[in-house]
Amino acid sequence: MLKKFATTTALAAALAVGAFAFGPSAKADDITIAVAGPMTGDLAAFGEQLRRGSEMAVKDINAKGGVLGKQLKLEIGDDQCDPKQAVQVANDLVKKGAVFVAGHFCSGSSIPASDVYAEEGIVQITPASTNPDFTEAPAKKGVTTIFRTCGRDDAQGKFAGPWLAKTYTGKNVAILDDKSAYGQGLANETQKNMESSGHKTALRETYTQKEKDFSALISKMKEAKIDAVYIGGYHNDVGLMVRQAREQGFKADFISADALNTQEFWSISGPAGEGLRYSDGASAVNLASAKDAVAEFRAANYEPEGYTLNSYAAVQAWAAAATKAGTTDGEKVAAALRSGPIPTVIGELSWDEKGDLTKVNYAWYVYHNGKAAQEPTM
């Protein structure tokens, strides 16, 4: 698995420096759009999801004639989930003439990059950034060009918090986060909703991203007799923490969220990841709207996990809105996005004035024998 991951990362790195046009030919008057995220680094598995989804969407759209009679050219930006690098990527994409960006992945990157795109009137649709501030802060400034094809931390917290309170009544629950915009925001929202449902948090702790030794934290949780651990963080850290916890005889249940939606989690956790559950939007893989796209991905030996279809949908929605508006002007495309439901691979999407989806259905996923399966939704 590590060898496979290294190969994937190297491939992503090579692709991150280029631009791609799919269709009969690439011309000087092609429409430039972009996808941005961690194409290299510890979270490259998610960058690959964003890239794969965007590339396939561009390929399919171009095969049907493109947008406004022109072919789409896709630029790829690698921010490694670093806020400063994300701003550099955003400025670079502006210079390359991108009129739309699918990205970024980490909330900590999407938020600072959004200032650049907003100033230039570029539509930005993140397939993955869930921190409420991504849309809340720009909306207060009157920015209308920022959207997402995923849910928000406060909505996910309302899903996970009451579940924790009900499931672990009379037991000790710890809430952890990695101090990131994503992890901390998600943990805070989940804790708030768990406590408003009547369950007090037994232990609240933070940890540092890319930590290699969680022994002290695990010992603290063992001493506090923790029965369940909710973590706001990314798959690489959670995978290592779970593995070390089991090695140290800590048997508490582990629960997390959407950043665990990659098979790379299991490559890190190994069998220690058995039974871990995470919340995420209900999978679109089996929807009729996604049937053709999923078949294309699988024919290319790629399983469209995680945010792959969200990324496809972001490009698809922008293209539909640009066609409806008859222009790539950001303000007009944004108005078209809000004007009514837009059919995508993940279903019909509608956005509110802030750029948030009006409806997101959440579900639990549980790892078993190396794969995460969605539990039936009620």
Which neighbouring-strand residues pair with 72?
A: 31
What is the secondary structure of 101-143 as a DSSP string?
A: EEE-SSHHHHHHHHHHHHHHT-EEEESS---THHHHHHHHTT-
Mean pLDDT of 48-75: 98
pLDDT band at 18 (very low <50, low <70, confident <90, very high): low
Average pLDDT over residues 29-38: 96
For range 321-325, the mean pLDDT:
98
pLDDT at residue 340 in the model: 85
The mean pLDDT value for 5-33 works out to: 53
pLDDT on residue 5:
36
Q: Measure CA 231 to chain center.
A: 16
Cβ–Cβ < 8 Å for 377, 282: yes
CB 51 within 8 A of CB 76: yes
Q: Taking 90 as the threshold, does the pLDDT of residue 19 lie above it?
A: no
Which residue type does 260 have? Answer: L
The confidence band for 20, taking pLDDT boundaries of 50, 70 and 90, is low
Find where tokens 């399919």 sit.
Answer: 60
Residue range 109-156, pLDDT digits in tens: 999 999 999 999 999 999 999 999 999 999 999 999 999 999 999 999
Strand order, beta sheet including 100-103: 19-21, 72-78, 31-37, 100-103, 123-126, 146-148
Find out whether 245 and 218 touch, Cβ atoms under 8 Å. yes
- Tens digits of residue pLDDT in 344-363: 999 999 999 999 999 999 99
Strand 228-232 and strand 253-256: the pairing is parallel
Residue 28: predicted pLDDT: 61
Residue 229, pLDDT score: 98
pLDDT over 70 percentage in the chain: 92
- pLDDT band at residue 11, thresholds of 50, 70 and 90? very low
Q: What is the pTM of this model?
A: 0.89
Flag whether pLDDT at 14 surpasses 90.
no
- Single-letter code of the amino acid located at 147: F
156 sits in which H/E element: helix 153-167
User: Three-state SS across 306-370?
Assistant: CCHHHHHHHHHHHHHHHHHHCCCCHHHHHHHHHCCCEEECCEEECECCCCCECCCCEEEEEEECC
Nearest to 366 by CA among 269, 260, 285: 260
Kindly tell me if the per-residue pLDDT of 220 is higher than 70. yes
**What is the reported pLDDT for 10?**
39
Q: Please, which residues bridge with residue 254 across strands?
A: 229
**Predicted local confidence at residue 29, as pLDDT:** 85
> What tokens appear for 222 in the block?
């063992």
Q: Which amino acid is at 194?
A: M
Q: Is the dihedral of CA 116, 68, 285, 297 positive or negative?
A: negative
Assess contact for 33 and 77: CB atoms under 8 A: no
Q: Go through the domains of the chain in sequence order and give each one's CATH number.
A: 2-150+285-349 (3.40.50.2300), 154-275 (3.40.50.2300)
| Residue 277 phi, psi (nearest 5) | -120, 150
Q: 361: number of CA atoms within 13 Å, CB side?
A: 12
* Whether the predicted pLDDT of 94 surpasses 80: yes
